């Protein structure tokens, strides 16, 4: 690594201490800044605080009663007499209709003061950053842990983009990620060191982290110089080192998730060294994920070597326990389908009775899905798995702008057309939603994380109640 690249790397690494920053506050500033509102939040249901305070108060009363019984009530009697005389003396100086409310107000103020200082002391220890109230943190924690168990299946930027939105609705998220990548930094590490490709896993860990923006910057940092380091991302090297320390990629991801305060979990579809292959309409057989897209041919069949790789046991367990399954978005043949080539994953999805939905891509992908409609995407998944796996498909409703269409047409990419009748004949429900995000400067099109996640959770709520 050259000396010139060290300062930038150190600046990025220095920010890592902020990884444990707090998750976003769900309350508006007007509510968040009001001290009275903060006190009343402690009365909100589901915090599991009021019951323990009541139990503690009951314990004080019982202990006091036990002491009175043990001592024959003598100390209690004299204390009550002393208190009675003191209060009578106060009432002679200040009328009871004045002194009573004053004493009550003073007692309440002391209680509030003591509780506030106690909670502030706890907050300073648990949350030294001090940019969020403890009650807000507890409310958000309870809300997220009451969310459904969501399993998202895919890879590439599509899955990580979805996870950024889902983490605001549930803490019980499992991302199942393909390990068939053989290009770029991941491919080099795979060939040179023999580790499973960490690229897609890195993106998903960053997306599920509390301080996602900072972690993405850190994990996506690519070394610009240095023999052997140039082109590698920090996140890939981090996961590779953790794999060596922990023993395998699964343990490395688990350890990294704890260190990086990841919400949910990320699991590789399999620990087998999987390589993709595709048969094209012109008779060619293409080996390797990165070569399939570059071949620029119509894919008629896709598979992997070794065939029928075993699923990670935790993946099978997550699928069995899921409340909601989401497939995609992402590159059809190189991000979504590779996960489904693991028989246990496809079987678990097909046999599940929970709501299952596929998020179709907005634009076709050159070299993979040229000219594909929504029904073509569905047929490709059904053909690869030998059966239907999901109940509904999400389709973008609004057409991209003319600027974006021109930009993508130069790359032979066009909007995925909805052929509703064909989709219906395939036994799928069509869910049309405006979940597209378009960069005004570049014309780049992506799914909007928040809108997509919100729409999926609303659809899940309706499907779950049917």
The string of pLDDT tens digits covering residues 425-438 is 999 999 999 999 99
Q: Confidence band (pLDDT; 50, 70, 90) for 57?
A: confident
Q: Which domain holds residue 295?
A: 140-178+269-464
Beta strands in 259-329 (DSSP E): 265-268, 275-280, 285-287, 299-305, 324-327
442 in a domain, yes or no? yes
Of 52-61, 295-304, 367-376, the one with minimum mean pLDDT is 52-61
Q: Confidence band (pLDDT; 50, 70, 90) for 19?
A: very low
pTM of the model as a whole: 0.75
pLDDT number for residue 49: 63
345 in a domain, yes or no? yes
Give dist(CA 441, CA 401) in Å, integer.
12
pLDDT surpasses 60 at 5: no
- From residue 264, alpha-carbon distances to 149, 151, 428 in Å are 10, 10, 29
- Top mean-pLDDT range of 31-45, 85-99, 112-126, 299-313: 299-313
Of 167-181, 220-234, 439-453, the one with minimum mean pLDDT is 220-234
314 in a domain, yes or no? yes
Number of structural domains found in the chain: 1
| Structural tokens at position 14 | 């220095």
pLDDT number for residue 75: 64
165 in a domain, yes or no? yes
455 in a domain, yes or no? yes
Nearest Cα to 343, choosing from 309, 377, 316? 309
29 in a domain, yes or no? no
Give the pLDDT mean for 27-32: 43
Q: Confidence band (pLDDT; 50, 70, 90) for 42?
A: low
106 in a domain, yes or no? no
24 in a domain, yes or no? no
Query: Measured over all CA atoms, what is the biggest interatomic distance in the chain, rounded to whole angstroms?
Result: 106
pLDDT number for residue 278: 95
179 φ, ψ to 5°? -125, 35
pLDDT surpasses 50 at 24: no
Domain harbouring 299, CATH code: 3.40.50.10680
- From residue 293, alpha-carbon distances to 58, 276, 301, 334, 392 in Å are 69, 11, 14, 8, 27
Nearest Cα to 325, choosing from 446, 107, 155, 175? 175
Of 29-33, 62-66, 249-253, 428-432, the one with minimum mean pLDDT is 29-33
Nearest Cα to 315, choosing from 269, 347, 354, 349? 269
The string of pLDDT tens digits covering residues 60-113 is 877 877 777 776 666 666 777 787 787 778 777 888 777 778 878 887 887 777
Cα torsion at 205, 433, 445, 376 (round to 10°)? 90
pLDDT number for residue 336: 96
């Amino acid at each position: 690594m050259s000396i010139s690249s060290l300062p930038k790397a150190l600046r990025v690494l220095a920010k890592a201490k902020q990884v444990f920053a707090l998750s976003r506050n769900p309350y508006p500033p007007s509510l968040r800044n009001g001290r009275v509102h903060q006190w009343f939040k402690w009365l909100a249901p589901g915090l599991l605080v009021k019951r323990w305070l009541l139990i503690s108060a009951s314990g004080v009363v019982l202990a006091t009663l036990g002491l009175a019984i043990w001592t024959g009530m003598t100390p209690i009697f004299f204390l009550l007499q002393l208190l009675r005389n003191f209060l009578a003396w106060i009432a002679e100086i200040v009328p009871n209709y004045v002194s009573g409310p004053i004493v009550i107000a003073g007692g309440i103020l002391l209680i509030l003061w003591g509780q506030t200082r106690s909670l502030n002391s706890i907050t300073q220890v648990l949350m030294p950053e001090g940019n969020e109230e403890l009650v807000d943190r507890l409310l958000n924690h309870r809300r997220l842990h009451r969310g459904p168990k969501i399993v998202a299946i895919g890879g590439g930027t599509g899955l990580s983009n979805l996870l950024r939105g889902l983490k605001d609705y549930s803490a019980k998220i499992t991302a199942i990620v393909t390990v068939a990548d053989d290009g770029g930094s991941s491919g080099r590490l795979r060939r040179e060191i023999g580790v499973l490709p960490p690229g897609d896993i890195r993106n998903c860990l960053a997306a599920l982290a509390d301080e996602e923006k900072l972690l993405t910057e850190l994990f996506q940092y690519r070394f610009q110089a240095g023999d052997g380091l140039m082109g590698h991302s920090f996140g890939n090297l981090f996961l590779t080192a953790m794999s060596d320390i922990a023993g395998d990629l699964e343990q490395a991801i688990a350890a990294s998730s704890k260190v990086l305060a990841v919400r949910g979990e990320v699991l590789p579809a399999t620990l087998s060294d999987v390589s993709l292959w595709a048969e094209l309409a012109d008779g060619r057989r293409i080996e390797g994920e990165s070569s399939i897209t570059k071949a620029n041919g119509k894919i008629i069949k896709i598979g992997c070597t070794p065939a029928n790789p075993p699923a990670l046991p935790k993946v099978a367990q997550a699928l069995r326990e899921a409340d909601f399954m989401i497939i995609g978005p992402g590159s059809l043949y190189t991000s979504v389908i590779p996960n489904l080539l693991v028989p246990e994953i496809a079987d678990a999805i097909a046999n599940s009775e929970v709501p299952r939905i596929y998020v179709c891509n907005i634009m076709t992908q050159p070299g993979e899905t040229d000219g594909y409609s929504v029904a073509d995407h569905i047929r490709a998944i059904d053909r690869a798995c030998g059966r239907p796996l999901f109940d509904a498909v999400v389709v973008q409703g609004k057409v991209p702008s003319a600027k974006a269409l021109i930009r993508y047409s130069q790359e032979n990419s066009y909007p995925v057309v909805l052929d509703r009748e064909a989709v219906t004949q395939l036994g799928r429900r069509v869910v049309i939603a405006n979940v597209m995000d378009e960069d005004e400067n570049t014309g780049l099109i992506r799914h909007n994380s928040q809108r997509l996640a919100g729409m999926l959770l609303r659809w899940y709520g309706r499907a779950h109640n049917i």
